[in-house]
Structure 1
Amino acid sequence: MTPFGEAVRRLRQRKGVSQKDMAQAIGVSPAYLSALEHGRRGKPSFDLLQRVAGYFNIIWDEAEELFMIAGASDPRVVLDTSGLGPEYTAFANHLARAIRTLSPAVIREFEEILKKTETVE
């Protein structure tokens, strides 16, 4: 599941609607909505994001957060290490091979490390 899929599922459950009903209301198939929720589809289009936000009648701040979550929800990520040292490429490949075996705690540790590097830049 992607962060966006999880957010949509929570919104849908909060409103008490089925995937089928929501899919019909926003003009997609139930299979597509299910695949989106389960992370088997990539990042949704801006048009679809607007339809989802409109369907749930969410306010601007919450809609903006949903759009940001969607931006971080593409399950097929590409890392471009061209122009960087060989250790960067080796690390990216190692991460790609190991990502499915990492625990949520290790992922949180990586996130904390990355947040610290963002504040230094």
Structure 2
Amino acid sequence: MTPFGQKLRDLREERGVTLKAMAHAIGVSPAYLSALEHGNRGTPTWYLMLRIIGFFNVIWDESEELERLAALSDPKVTLSTAGMNPKATEFANRLAKEMKNLDAEDFAQFLELLRQRLKAKSQR
């Protein structure tokens, strides 16, 4: 499941909306919406995002959060380390090979370290 898929499911469940009802309301198939929630589909289009935001009638901040999560939720990530430090290539390849062996806490720690490092660099 992707961050966007989890948020979508949470919003749906909080409001007591079935997957089938939501799919019909926003003009997609239930299979597509299920695949989007489970992370088996890429980032939704801007047009679909507008329909989802309208469906839930969310406030501005929450719609920005949905857009942010959608941008971070493509399950098929491609990255290039060409021209970067050799450690970047090693890191990317090791992460790709070992991701399946990591758990939620491992990912949370990686993300927190990344946030801290980027914040420190932006303050320099």
TM-score relative to the length of structure 2: 0.94
Q: Which moves more between the two structures, 43-52 or 99-108?
A: 99-108
Question: What do you get for the CA RMSD once the two structures are aligned?
Answer: 0.9
CA distance in 2, matches of 1:58, 1:111: 27
Residue equivalent to 1:48:
48
Residue equivalent to 2:111:
111
Specify the code of the residue in structure 1 equivalent to 2:5: G
Residue equivalent to 1:82:
82
Q: Which 5+ residue runs of structure 2 have no aligned equivalent?
A: none
Residue equivalent to 1:91:
91
Aligned length: 121
The percentage of counterpart residues that share the same residue type is: 51
Shift of 1:112: 1.6
Cα deviation code 1:49-78 (max 9, x no counterpart): 110000011111110111001111111111
Shift of 1:120: 2.2
Residue equivalent to 2:36:
36
Shift of 1:105: 1.5
Q: Which 5+ residue runs of structure 1 have no aligned equivalent?
A: none
Shift of 1:108: 1.4
User: SS where residue 73 of structure 2 aligns?
Assistant: coil
User: SS where residue 69 of structure 1 aligns?
Assistant: helix
Specify the code of the residue in structure 2 equivalent to 1:81: T
Specify the code of the residue in structure 2 equivalent to 1:42: G
Specify the code of the residue in structure 1 equivalent to 2:77: V
Shift of 1:101: 0.8
Shift of 1:119: 1.1
CA distance in 2, matches of 1:91, 1:69: 24
TM-score relative to the length of structure 1: 0.96
